[in-house]
Chains A and B, each alone.
Chain A
Amino acid sequence: MRKVLGLALAVVLAVGLAAYVSQAQPPRSRLDAVRARGQLICGVSGTTVGFSFPDPVSGRMIGFDADFCRAVAAFIDVPSVEFVNLTSASRIPAVLAGSVDVVFRTTTVTIGRDDQIDFGPVTFFDGQRLLVKSDSRINGLDDLNGARICTQTGTTSERNITDQMRLRNFRFTLVTFAQPGEAFNGLVTGRCDVWTTDASQLTAFRATAPNPADFKLVGREFSDEPLAPFYQENDSKWADVVDYTVYGMVLAEELGVTQAIARNPARLSEITARDPIAKNLMEFKGNAMTRVLQLVGNYGEVYDRYFGPRQRTAILRDGTRNELARTGGAISSRPFRP
């Protein structure tokens, strides 16, 4: 009797919950929700050097990804951004549940992930490489037979290196860590012969080491990691906002419209009078891109702010795919024509 009663109660609760869930979801774009809230909730890592990390002095989240969050908010003229730190495991569930509006979190575009969420334009092309001590005899993947390999657990890096080793029929030992810093420490203390993950991370840790010359990056990039923002599926109004924020920032770099120019009406009108595309760009969606450029600057400026040659975490842009398409890279925009 008691069992039956409990079961009946469970069924009633489940049905009630399901009914509530189904009626509490009016079909409207996330754009309206963000505007109504007056705040963009942006998922970032918050713990990735160069991409999103805190600035203790100003008490703000900064970084390459964080600036794109601010740009999206400026595009739709929403005054504030709330940053939510997501782990690599919780980032997709958070978007599916609607806990965050958009995620800029060093996420590689994959076909598997695209089944669940929609990706925006690629903002950064990364690739996996190897970091070894300078006196190591390892010069590439082919030297890794029998090696102990440090990597971060649950990442695409772990999967890639395993695939590469299997392909070559090599014996190898994986030493996995939760945090990149721990993995680097593993290399320093000799727990492994090589640390492998995205080149952006390897570069940053090598550059900030007490003596950078103790380490060297070796081998070619053996994986393709195009990093892109993502958001809920089937919401093209919201997708347009995110996508055209990125495209607009890239186009602004192509046209030479910098933050300084966007903030100077005289110089800005000089350019828009000469170039109809620039005029389209700056007047798009009620001066959306003007606000973006005034706040964070164009793509190249954001890149240089965190990975430029004068930063500690510099990542060379020349000759990589992170250059503009017109100079041989793969960072491209769309023509802003009616």
Chain B
Amino acid sequence: MATHVEALLPPDERLTPWDWARRNLFDGWWNTILTAGVAAALLLASVGIVRWATRAHWSVVTDNPRFWLMGLMPVELARLAYWAGGLVAVAALLTVLGVRARVRPRTLVGLWVGILVAVVWLMWTVRLDQIGGLYLTVLLGVVAISASFPLGVLVGMGRVSRLPVVKGFATLYIEFIRGIPLITVLLWFFIFVTLVSGGSLARVVRAMIALTIFTSAYVGEIVRAGIQSVPRGQSEAARAVGLSALQTMGYIVLPQAVKNMIPALVGQFISLFKDTSLTVIIGLSELVGTGRSLLAIGQYLHDEREVYVFLLVVYFMFSYAMSSGSRVLERRLGLGER
């Protein structure tokens, strides 16, 4: 005997905004008080912020665009730097449009290689130590990210290697670097490396090396986690059909692992981008250093809040762009849908 089960449709939850507000914000006197209180606090805060923003001395930002962009770069070289920055900005814009239009990745890589060659050619006469401001922040970030990714992959592969020496070195490197703060690594490269290198390394290069070495250790751990997240059957199957260990890694494990690593990797790179501001302590004038030195000019002595609010906005914009980029990438790769 079969019972008849009536298939109930889910309740139709389409509410008018008013109904939604009544059900979620004003059900009962306690919730109503809370809503009113939070709304009042938000209103007061935003009025205060807007009031401050309209009265603030934004001239510290608006009067010095070149200084914020490139710091103490000699004026005669600034024109080249504008061209280089413009090229990179155009390339970034084209990339965004290209991703929207689903251009082949190979085309985009070609575009960036071309732009990079053009930028290096333009900036050839500029010494690294003459770059400052936003340019230096972006330069440090880009170089450290692109150098620490391959290095990190190597370290991560070493970490899961079956060769004891390789594994030992990779583990030692990761544990050693993770055990010391970034500031220490930077100071070490600023002060002690001079004793060996005799001052031939530009400070910017030192910062790049320090940031790369530091981040590679973290990337290495992310890569290890990514590799270990790929089911063992995958590599066993690959070996069974006759692929060598390297081929297994390159064709089977890494492509799947990299997909899984993207969220963690982007998080690490965003944190690296923000950490470039620590290079202030070895005397580099990147974005934060630029702001701090502007504060030493007589007419801007009291514009501390303006400078730091502006810095907050700029860093947020770049970090947000990076995380939106990673979201697009995740969607393209169909992450979380397998």
Which residues of A are at the interface with B, using a C-beta cutoff of 8 A?
2, 6, 17, 20-21, 24-25, 33, 41, 43, 45-50, 52-56, 58-61, 82-87, 89-90, 93-94, 96-99, 179, 181-182, 184-185, 204-205, 208-210, 311-313
Chain B contact residues: over half helix, strand or loop, or mixed?
A: helix
A46 and chain B: residue at smallest CB distance: B293
What would be 23 A-B contacts, judged by CB atoms less than 8 Å apart? A21-B196, A46-B283, A48-B296, A54-B67, A54-B72, A56-B67, A56-B297, A59-B66, A59-B72, A59-B78, A90-B281, A93-B191, A97-B191, A97-B192, A98-B194, A98-B198, A98-B199, A99-B191, A179-B295, A185-B304, A208-B299, A208-B301, A209-B302
B144 → A minimal CB distance (Å): 20
Which residues in B have their C-beta under 8 angstroms from that of A85? 280, 283-285, 289, 293
A-B pair count, CB < 8 Å, reads 126
Given contacts A48-B296, A85-B285, A185-B304, 17 further A-B contacts (CB under 8 A): A47-B296, A54-B71, A56-B297, A58-B75, A59-B72, A59-B73, A60-B72, A61-B72, A87-B281, A94-B191, A98-B194, A99-B191, A179-B295, A179-B304, A181-B295, A204-B298, A208-B298
Which residues of B are at the interface with A, using a C-beta cutoff of 8 A?
63-64, 66-67, 71-75, 78, 129, 168, 172, 187, 190-192, 194-196, 198-199, 203, 280-285, 289, 292-299, 301-302, 304
Q: Which of B203, B298, B302 has the most CB of A within 10 A?
A: B298
The CA of A40 and the CA of B172, in the complex, are separated in Å by: 40
Which residues in A have their C-beta under 8 angstroms from that of B280? 85
The CA of A163 and the CA of B280, in the complex, are separated in Å by: 31
Q: Are A54's CB and B297's CB within 8 A?
A: yes
The CA of A2 and the CA of B167, in the complex, are separated in Å by: 12
Which residues in B have their C-beta under 8 angstroms from that of A56? 63-64, 66-67, 294, 297
Which residues in A have their C-beta under 8 angstroms from that of B172? 6
A101 and chain B: residue at smallest CB distance: B199
Q: Are B293's CB and A49's CB within 8 A?
A: no
The CA of A24 and the CA of B197, in the complex, are separated in Å by: 8
The CA of A25 and the CA of B194, in the complex, are separated in Å by: 11
The CA of A61 and the CA of B203, in the complex, are separated in Å by: 17
Q: Are B299's CB and A312's CB within 8 A?
A: yes
The CA of A302 and the CA of B23, in the complex, are separated in Å by: 72
Across chains A and B, which 7 residue pairs bring their CB atoms closest together, nearest first? Answer: A56-B67, A53-B296, A85-B283, A312-B298, A56-B64, A97-B194, A97-B191
Which residues in A have their C-beta under 8 angstroms from that of B283? 43, 46, 84-87, 90, 94
Q: Which of A33, A59, A181 has the most CB of B within 10 A?
A: A59
Which residues in B have their C-beta under 8 angstroms from that of A59? 66-67, 72-75, 78
With A2-B168, A20-B196, A53-B296 as contacts: A90 and B282 at CB distance below 8 Å? yes
B129 and chain A: residue at smallest CB distance: A82
Q: Which of A20, A85, A94, A208 has the most CB of B within 10 A?
A: A85
A43 → B minimal CB distance (Å): 8
A185 → B minimal CB distance (Å): 6
A53 and chain B: residue at smallest CB distance: B296
Which residues in B have their C-beta under 8 angstroms from that of A82? 129
Q: Which of A56, A84, A93, A312 has the most CB of B within 10 A?
A: A56
Q: Are B196's CB and A53's CB within 8 A?
A: no
Q: Are A90's CB and B187's CB within 8 A?
A: yes
Q: Are B301's CB and A181's CB within 8 A?
A: yes
With A54-B72, A208-B298 as contacts: A98 and B293 at CB distance below 8 Å? no
Q: Are B191's CB and A53's CB within 8 A?
A: no
Which residues in A have their C-beta under 8 angstroms from that of B78? 59
The CA of A17 and the CA of B172, in the complex, are separated in Å by: 19
Q: Are B293's CB and A17's CB within 8 A?
A: no
A87 and chain B: residue at smallest CB distance: B281
Q: Are A90's CB and B73's CB within 8 A?
A: no
Q: Are A24's CB and B198's CB within 8 A?
A: yes
Which residues in B have their C-beta under 8 angstroms from that of A210? 302
The CA of A179 and the CA of B291, in the complex, are separated in Å by: 12
Q: Are B296's CB and A49's CB within 8 A?
A: yes
Which residues in B have their C-beta under 8 angstroms from that of A208? 298-299, 301-302
Q: Which of B67, B289, B293 has the most CB of A within 10 A?
A: B293
B137 → A minimal CB distance (Å): 15
B304 and chain A: residue at smallest CB distance: A181
A195 → B minimal CB distance (Å): 13
Q: Are A204's CB and B301's CB within 8 A?
A: yes
Which residues in B have their C-beta under 8 angstroms from that of A2? 168
Which residues in B have their C-beta under 8 angstroms from that of A24? 195-196, 198
The CA of A46 and the CA of B290, in the complex, are separated in Å by: 10
The CA of A33 and the CA of B194, in the complex, are separated in Å by: 14
Q: Are B304's CB and A49's CB within 8 A?
A: no
Q: Which of A48, A54, A205, A209 has the most CB of B within 10 A?
A: A54
A321 → B minimal CB distance (Å): 24
The CA of A97 and the CA of B190, in the complex, are separated in Å by: 9
A55 and chain B: residue at smallest CB distance: B297
B200 and chain A: residue at smallest CB distance: A37
Which residues in A have their C-beta under 8 angstroms from that of B292? 47, 179
Which residues in A have their C-beta under 8 angstroms from that of B190? 90, 94, 97, 99
B305 and chain A: residue at smallest CB distance: A185
The CA of A85 and the CA of B129, in the complex, are separated in Å by: 12
Q: Are A99's CB and B194's CB within 8 A?
A: yes
The CA of A281 and the CA of B74, in the complex, are separated in Å by: 33
A47 → B minimal CB distance (Å): 5
The CA of A312 and the CA of B304, in the complex, are separated in Å by: 18
Which residues in A have their C-beta under 8 angstroms from that of B72? 54, 59-61, 83
The CA of A155 and the CA of B268, in the complex, are separated in Å by: 35
Q: Are B195's CB and A21's CB within 8 A?
A: yes
A61 and chain B: residue at smallest CB distance: B72
Which residues in B have their C-beta under 8 angstroms from that of A55? 297
